[in-house]
């Protein structure tokens, strides 16, 4: 920085509470006015890309959970779809609907967290508690679907881990009602609140031309008036069959970004409701079978009672639910070179057991011919892309992730210079920087 005698330097972070321990801003100040900014990132570098290059194709999925850990299911889906494009794999229609449902739940949890945390840092703890309560309802729903609240590892190359639980639609409707109530209460407390508006309106302002020049996407770009959304511009899964609006702003300031995220929560809930109406029926819901515990099926196989096994479905622990033979046709590709066999086959016959082990053993597994591709989905912060290169092995030769919150961080100087120290907090909050995604 070029410092004159009239200015002084101030470190803001990484210990500052609003920097979350993962970012350092070096501010040059003239009184409380910001003259220059240097953003230092890299405090949470986890070597995601290098880790991924030392894993098999499916084993990368748990690493993707830890990118944007506020909306992990979107990361799962984006990576899996990139691999499927590379391999030319088609996912069954039901599996595609389930992916959209999972992604939109994650988008809502992401926006609830961003708005709630920003409000808390500006002094509104009540709004934070309301929105985190709404997020908790969704986390419980995610746990019911995947067996985990946050690090779900829900997708697989060729589909998803399991089918929707039979009572999922009913549970979602109850949860959506609670979430809408929390959002409505927060809207009343914040949107026309004079203190909140004074802190947000006109601060962190960026023009649409500058946003595009910096490569910014997501709610940040849409707040400037550009209606770019990967789900609409480059439809994937079943988004082209669904009706939804793209909320846009006009001024590109912190307040517009808040309004865009608030509006997107309702759009995501609408998308999930449409998916639950349109999703094809799963076989499990049409032909219920008698369920036995996995160890009972194994014991029957060991004693030679194989004739009885066909009428039983395996009961497994929550993390494996939906991986039985009744759910597989609708959720995962039938290609045995890609998809793990149904648990009933793994437990009861040598062919299924061998198929399972071949897919999970190192140097075996899913094999993809030498090629490369780029695939992007709409993440909570914008375009989340994966560039994958295969050399014909059982895992990626090269992985490159496009983290959407990196680009607004590059624009920090443009956003903050000329403002006050107090403007740093709402501006940084509206960026919704997730360090796991940013630093990778």
pLDDT at 36 over 70: yes
**What is the pLDDT confidence band of residue 373, given thresholds at 50, 70 and 90?**
very high
**What is the pLDDT confidence band of residue 79, given thresholds at 50, 70 and 90?**
very high
Beta-ladder partners of 390: 371
Q: For residue 149, give both structure tokens.
A: 């609240």
Q: What 3-state DSSP class applies to 181?
A: helix
Give 88: exposed, middle or buried? Use CB within 10 Å, 0-12, 13-18, 19+.
Answer: exposed
Stretch 428-440: mean pLDDT: 87
pLDDT at 288: 43
Stretch 409-422: mean pLDDT: 90
Q: pLDDT tens digits for 43-73?
A: 888 889 999 999 888 889 999 988 888 999 9
- As a whole number of angstroms, the distance between CA 141 and CA 147 comes to 10
Question: Whose structure tokens read 């517009």?
Answer: 256
**What is the pLDDT confidence band of residue 319, given thresholds at 50, 70 and 90?**
low
pLDDT at 101 over 70: yes
Domain total in the chain: 1
Nearest to 79 by CA among 334, 68, 269: 68
Q: For residue 354, give both structure tokens.
A: 């061998």
- Least trusted range by pLDDT, from 64-68, 166-170, 436-440: 436-440
Question: Whose structure tokens read 């350092």?
Answer: 24
- As a whole number of angstroms, the distance between CA 194 and CA 257 comes to 17
pLDDT at 361 over 90: no
- Least trusted range by pLDDT, from 103-112, 217-226, 324-333: 324-333
Which structural domain, as residue segments, surrounds residue 37?
1-440
**What is the pLDDT confidence band of residue 439, given thresholds at 50, 70 and 90?**
confident
Q: Which run of H or E residues covers position 36?
A: strand 33-40
Q: pLDDT tens digits for 1-34?
A: 555 568 888 888 788 877 777 888 899 998 889 9
Contact criterion met (CB below 8 Å) for 140 and 170: no
- As a whole number of angstroms, the distance between CA 151 and CA 173 comes to 24
Write the CATH number for 56.
1.10.645.10
Q: Which of 45 and 333 is assigned the larger pLDDT?
A: 45
pLDDT at 193: 92
Stretch 74-94: mean pLDDT: 91
pLDDT at 110 over 90: yes
Q: Which of 311 and 411 is assigned the larger pLDDT?
A: 411
Cβ-Cβ contacts under 8 Å for 159 (sequence gap 6 or more): 91, 92, 95, 331, 332, 333, 339
Stretch 389-404: mean pLDDT: 92
């Amino acid at each position: 920085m070029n410092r004159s005698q009239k200015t002084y330097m101030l470190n803001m972070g990484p210990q500052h509470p609003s920097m979350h321990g993962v970012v350092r801003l070096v501010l040059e100040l003239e009184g409380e006015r910001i003259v220059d900014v240097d953003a230092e990132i890299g405090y949470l570098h986890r070597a995601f890309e290098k880790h991924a290059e030392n894993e098999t194709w499916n084993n990368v999925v748990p690493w993707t959970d830890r990118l944007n850990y506020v909306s992990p299911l979107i990361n799962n889906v984006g990576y899996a779809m990139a691999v499927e494009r590379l391999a030319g794999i088609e996912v069954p229609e039901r599996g595609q609907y389930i992916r959209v449902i999972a992604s939109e739940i994650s988008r809502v949890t992401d926006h609830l967290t961003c708005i709630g945390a920003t409000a808390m840092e500006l002094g509104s703890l009540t709004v934070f508690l309301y929105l985190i309560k709404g997020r908790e309802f969704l986390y419980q729903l995610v746990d019911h679907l995947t067996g985990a609240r946050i690090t779900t590892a829900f997708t697989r190359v060729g589909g998803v881990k399991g089918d929707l639980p039979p009572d999922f639609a009913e549970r979602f409707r109850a949860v959506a009602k609670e979430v809408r109530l929390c959002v409505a209460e927060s809207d009343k407390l914040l949107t026309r609140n004079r203190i909140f508006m004074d802190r947000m309106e006109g601060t962190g302002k960026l023009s649409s031309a500058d946003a595009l020049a910096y490569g910014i996407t997501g709610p940040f770009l849409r707040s400037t008036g550009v209606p770019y959304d990967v789900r609409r511009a480059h439809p994937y899964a079943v988004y082209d069959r669904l009706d939804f609006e793209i909320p846009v702003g006009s001024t590109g300031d912190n307040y517009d970004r808040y309004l865009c995220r608030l509006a997107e929560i309702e759009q995501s809930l609408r998308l999930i409701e449409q998916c639950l109406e349109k999703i094809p029926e799963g076989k499990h819901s049409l032909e219920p079978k008698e369920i036995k515990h996995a160890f009972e099926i194994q014991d029957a196989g060991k004693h030679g009672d194989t004739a009885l096994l066909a009428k039983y479905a395996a009961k497994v622990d929550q993390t494996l639910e939906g991986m039985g033979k009744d759910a597989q046709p609708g959720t995962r590709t039938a290609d045995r070179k890609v998809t793990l066999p149904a648990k009933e086959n793994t437990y009861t016959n040598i062919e299924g057991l061998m198929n399972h082990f071949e897919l999970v053993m190192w140097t075996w597994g899913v094999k993809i011919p030498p090629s490369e591709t780029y695939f992007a989905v709409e993440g909570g912060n914008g375009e989340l892309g994966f560039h994958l290169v295969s050399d014909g092995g059982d895992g990626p030769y090269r992985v490159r992730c496009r983290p959407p919150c990196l680009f607004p961080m590059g624009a920090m100087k443009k956003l903050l210079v000329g403002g006050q120290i107090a403007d740093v907090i709402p501006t940084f909050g509206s960026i919704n920087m997730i360090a796991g995604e940013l630093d990778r």
